[in-house]
């Protein structure tokens, strides 16, 4: 016993030295900021608060600059310039603006117009807070202005032209996902290997958390009744983005019927075959826009298009039933209270 005592101290001291060598402890750091008229939260895994802060602030900057380009409510944005000149002249835009509009056109075409960024004039007729429902005549009157095919793009000149007067381009259904992509790209360029960017409910995650597990995202329950059933399911995200469109975000109920902001571009009325649609794919810009598209297309056609596009989707239909693509089997965890 005595012999071992002699080795005890040196051994313990060795442990002391060894513990001082683990300086590279990675932790997750989270920061939030109000941007794009919503709340953006960025979580990164880094070796120090300093490194995390710098990377996050740069990402916030990028989002802010992009937001200034496509802000529907600001006169100074390129988007407003496009809208002001609808039916008048083409407008020269930055590469990012051109990029997002092209992607919006891509989704519009693929979804047969279920997603249409020119839906601005129709959305304007509704007021979900004051419970204002436009008349059938008013809705019909603006329908001709809703047609993505009237967006004319000239790549060589980097211009966008809305070919009819009073057309309104609204990128709200695709900008947040695009912003999440930009943020993640910025973080990766700054050397961050793992993180999660949440632009409101449009989320993109990359890498693994410090405990080597994937980021977990909860999907909101469209008919939440109390604090306890906020989440209906959860899913791990490994280098993917997720977006959700739901009939509970902006809505009002009148005479027992629910009127919400996800309008069918061809009719101007809210799509009512789904309660919510969550899409998982590589890019946030795609998940954001396609979640609206699948919602409008409904459970069957939406699921079909999702499979065609190679995306995973979870649809909660109007009766509350869950429909998912096969890719989510084994990955989706439905919460206990359902």
Partner 1 sequence: MQLQDKRRVAILSAYALALHGFESLLPTPIPWLKPGLANIITLVALILYGFRTALMVTLIRVLLASIFIGTFLGPAFILSTGGGIASVIAMGLSVKFFKNLFGAIGLSLIGALFHNIAQLSLAYYLFIQRIEAVFIISPFILLIGSLTGIINGVISDILIKNLLKINDEKIQNVAQ
Partner 2 sequence: MKETIKNTTLADRLLFLLLISLSIAGIFISRDALSQGSDVIIEINGKPSYTLPLYSDRLLSVSGPHGNTLIETKGGKVRVKEAHCRNQICVKEGWISKGVIVCLPNKLVIIVGGSKKDQQQGIDAITG
By the criterion CB under 8 A, which residues form the site for partner 1? 9, 11-13, 15-20, 23
User: Binding of partner 2 at residue 207 (CB under 8 A)?
Assistant: no
Q: Which is nearer to partner 2, 67 or 121 (CB)?
A: 67
- Cα separation, 26 vs 45, in Å, equals 6
Query: Taking CB within 5 to 8 Å according to partner kind, which of partner 2, partner 1, none is near residue 6?
Result: none
- Provide the minimum distance between the beta carbon of 50 and partner 1 in the complex, in angstroms, as a whole number: 13
Check: CB of residue 197 under 8 Å from CB of residue 42: yes
Location of structure tokens 């989704």? 107
Going residue by residue from 59 to 98, which x/- string records binding to partner 2, judged by CB under 8 A? --------------x-------------------------
- Provide the minimum distance between the beta carbon of 194 and partner 2 in the complex, in angstroms, as a whole number: 11
User: Binding of partner 2 at residue 34 (CB under 8 A)?
Assistant: yes
Query: Taking CB within 5 to 8 Å according to partner kind, which of partner 1, partner 2, none is near residue 243?
Result: partner 2
Going residue by residue from 115 to 154, which x/- string records binding to partner 2, judged by CB under 8 A? ------------xxx-------------------------
- Provide the minimum distance between the beta carbon of 201 and partner 2 in the complex, in angstroms, as a whole number: 4
User: Binding of partner 2 at residue 202 (CB under 8 A)?
Assistant: yes
User: Binding of partner 2 at residue 318 (CB under 8 A)?
Assistant: no
Query: Taking CB within 5 to 8 Å according to partner kind, which of partner 2, partner 1, none is near residue 94?
Result: none
- Provide the minimum distance between the beta carbon of 124 and partner 1 in the complex, in angstroms, as a whole number: 43
The single residue among 26, 38, 54, 323 that binds partner 2, judged by CB under 8 A, is 38
Q: Which is nearer to partner 2, 27 or 163 (CB)?
A: 27
User: Binding of partner 2 at residue 283 (CB under 8 A)?
Assistant: no
User: Binding of partner 2 at residue 317 (CB under 8 A)?
Assistant: no
Which region among 78-86, 112-120, 216-224, 323-331 touches partner 2 (by CB under 8 A)?
Answer: 216-224
Name, in order, each residue with C-beta under 8 angstroms of 183's C-beta and a sequence gap of 6 or more. Answer: 40, 42, 59, 60, 62, 63, 197, 199, 204
User: Binding of partner 2 at residue 246 (CB under 8 A)?
Assistant: yes
The single residue among 51, 231, 322, 328 that binds partner 2, judged by CB under 8 A, is 231
The single residue among 114, 203, 262, 274 that binds partner 2, judged by CB under 8 A, is 203
For the chain, the first-to-last Cα distance in angstroms comes to: 61
Rounded to the nearest 10 degrees, the angle between the axes of helix 95-110 and helix 175-189 is: 130
| Residues of the shown chain interacting with partner 2 in the complex, contacts defined by CB under 8 A | 33-34, 37-39, 41, 43, 73, 127-129, 196, 198, 201-203, 205, 209, 215-222, 227-228, 230-231, 234, 242-244, 246, 276, 278
């Amino acid at each position: 016993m005595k012999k071992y005592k002699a080795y005890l101290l040196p051994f313990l001291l060795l442990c002391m030295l060894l513990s001082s060598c683990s300086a590279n402890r990675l932790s997750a750091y989270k920061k939030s900021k109000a941007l794009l008229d919503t709340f953006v939260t960025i979580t990164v895994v880094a070796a120090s608060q300093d490194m995390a802060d710098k990377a996050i602030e740069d990402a916030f900057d990028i989002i802010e600059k992009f937001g200034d380009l496509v802000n529907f409510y600001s006169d100074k944005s390129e988007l407003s310039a496009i809208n002001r000149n609808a039916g008048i002249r083409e407008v020269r835009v930055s590469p990012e603006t051109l990029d997002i509009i092209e992607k919006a056109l891509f989704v519009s075409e693929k979804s047969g117009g279920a997603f249409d960024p020119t839906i601005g004039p129709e959305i304007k007729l509704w007021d979900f807070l004051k419970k204002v429902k436009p008349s059938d005549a008013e809705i019909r009157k603006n329908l001709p202005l809703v047609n993505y095919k009237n967006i004319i793009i000239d790549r060589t000149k980097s211009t966008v032209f809305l070919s009819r007067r009073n057309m309104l381009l609204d990128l709200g259904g695709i900008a947040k996902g695009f912003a999440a992509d930009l943020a993640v790209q910025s973080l990766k360029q700054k050397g961050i290997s793992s993180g999660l960017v949440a632009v409101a409910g449009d989320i993109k995650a990359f890498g693994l958390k410090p405990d080597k597990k994937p980021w977990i995202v909860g999907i909101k329950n469209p008919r939440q009744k109390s604090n306890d059933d906020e989440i209906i399911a959860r899913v791990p995200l490994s280098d993917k983005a997720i977006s959700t469109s739901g009939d509970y975000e902006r809505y009002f109920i009148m005479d027992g019927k629910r009127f919400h902001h996800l309008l069918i571009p061809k009719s101007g009325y809210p799509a009512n075959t789904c309660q919510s649609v969550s899409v998982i794919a590589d890019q946030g810009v795609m998940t954001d826009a396609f979640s609206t598209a699948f919602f409008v297309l409904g459970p069957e056609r939406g699921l079909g298009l999702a499979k065609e596009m190679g995306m995973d989707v979870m649809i909660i239909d109007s009766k509350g039933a869950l429909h998912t693509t096969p890719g989510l089997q084994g990955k989706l965890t439905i919460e206990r209270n359902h």
